[in-house]
């Protein structure tokens, strides 16, 4: 029997009709499902708040300055992520390393501030079980923190051992960074929504 052609098409180059390579479409679909996940959680927030007799103002429980700092941190990291993606497309690997490194550092800053916030709540005996506001706060931000952690691990891999592909197969590597960037921007957008709903509204 002749040798079968097992190569999967459009792993690197885009399919002309859709204008997308496989992984990019896959990432968009994944983000669509993520929208539904956070959509479910946000609607839980709306539902609980509408049903509640009394709902505390976010600012009375949460620290707006810390939330604002984290918002700036994540937005900046989105910018450095985009710069990293642009750099690797132009095969400027030094710039890429600097920018992706900054993205990783900023993610670490975000997580540190977040854990400081959590610690502050716990030290004041404010737990998820204390009231519905804190429950939804910990659930929403907790799921978001998991997403930040996931992005951090993937980015760290691309910065470290994964970056070897940048020399061997630069186009495929640029694709990888591009879709990692899509994900990272999504995580950023979710945080902005979280900041507005939980801290400000």
Partner 1 sequence: MILQGRSFLRRCIFSTDHKVVGIQYGITALFFLLFGFCLMLLMRWQLAYPGTPIPWIGQWLGENRAPGGVVLPEFYNELGAMHGTIMVFLGVVPLLVGAFGNYLIPLQIGAPDMAFPKLNMASYWTYLLGGLTMLVSFFVPGGAANSGWTAYPPLADIATAGQTVWLLGMVCIITSSLLGSINFITTIFQLRAEGLTFMRLPFFVWAQLITSFLLLLAFPPLEAAGILQLFDRVAATSFFLPSGLVVSGEPLKVSGGGSALLWQHLFWFLGHPEVYVILLPSMGIVTEIIVNNIRRPLYGYRTMVYSVIFLGLMSFIVWAHHMYLTGMGTALSAFFQTTTMIISIPSVVILSCLFLSLWGGSIRFNTPMLFALSFLPMFGIGGLTGLPLGVATVDIHLHDTYYVIGHFHYIVAPGTIFAIFAGIYYWFPKVTGKRMNENLGQLHFWPSLFLMNGIFMPMFIQGLAGVSRRLYDGGAQYAHAQGVLHLNVGISMCAWLLALFQIPFIVNLIWSMAKKEKAALDNPWEATTLEWAAPTPPPHGNFREIPKVYRGPYEYSVPGAAKDFTPQSEA
**Binding footprint of partner 1 on the chain (CB under 8 A):** 1-10, 15, 18, 20-23, 25-26, 29-30, 32-34, 36-41, 43-44, 47-48, 51-52, 127-132, 135-136, 138-139, 143
Instruction: For the CB of residue 52, give the shortest distance to partner 1 in the complex, in Å.
Output: 6
Q: How far is the CB of 86 from partner 1 (least distance, A)?
A: 25
CB 121 within 8 A of CB 88: no
Q: Transcribe 49-116 into DSSP letters.
A: HHH-S----HHHHS-HHHHHHHHHHHHHHHHHHHHHHHHHHTT-HHHHHHHHHHHHHHHHHHHHHHHH
- Pick 87 or 194: Cβ nearer partner 1: 194
- With respect to partner 1, which residue has the nearer C-beta, 63 or 131? 131
Query: Cα–Cα distance between 32 and 178 in angstroms, integer?
Result: 17
HSE of 149, CA atoms in CB hemisphere, 13 A: 9
Identity of the residue, 114 or 144, whose beta carbon is nearer to partner 1 in the bound complex: 144
How near is the Cβ of 88 to partner 1 at its closest, in Å? 22
Indicate the residue among 45 and 158 with the shorter CB distance to partner 1. Answer: 45
Alpha-carbon distance of 97 to 159, in angstroms, equals 6
Instruction: Show the DSSP H helices in 160-194 as ranges.
Output: 165-168, 170-194
How far apart (Å, rounded) are the C-alpha atoms in residues 139 and 159?
30
106 or 148: CB nearest partner 1: 148
CB of 61 to partner 1, least distance (A): 14
Minimal distance in Å, beta carbon 105 to partner 1? Answer: 29
């Amino acid at each position: 029997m002749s040798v079968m052609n097992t190569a999967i098409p459009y792993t690197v180059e885009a399919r002309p009709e859709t204008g997308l390579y496989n992984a990019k479409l896959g990432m968009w679909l994944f983000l669509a499902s993520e929208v539904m996940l956070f959509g479910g959680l946000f609607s839980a927030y709306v539902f609980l708040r509408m049903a509640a007799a009394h709902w505390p103002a976010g600012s009375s429980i949460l620290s707006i300055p810390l939330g604002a700092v984290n918002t700036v941190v994540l937005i900046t990291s989105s910018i450095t992520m985009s710069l990293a993606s642009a750099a690797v497309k132009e095969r400027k690997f030094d710039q890429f390393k600097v920018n992706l490194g900054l993205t990783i550092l900023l993610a670490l800053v975000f997580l540190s501030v977040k854990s400081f916030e959590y610690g502050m709540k716990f030290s004041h005996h404010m737990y998820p079980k204390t009231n519905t506001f804190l429950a939804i706060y910990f659930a929403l931000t907790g799921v978001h923190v998991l997403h930040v952690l996931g992005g951090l691990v993937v980015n760290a891999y691309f910065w470290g051992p994964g970056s070897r592909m940048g020399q061997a197969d630069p186009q495929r590597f640029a694709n990888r960074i591009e879709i990692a960037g899509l994900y990272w921007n999504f995580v950023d957008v979710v945080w902005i929504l979280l900041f507005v709903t939980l801290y400000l509204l």
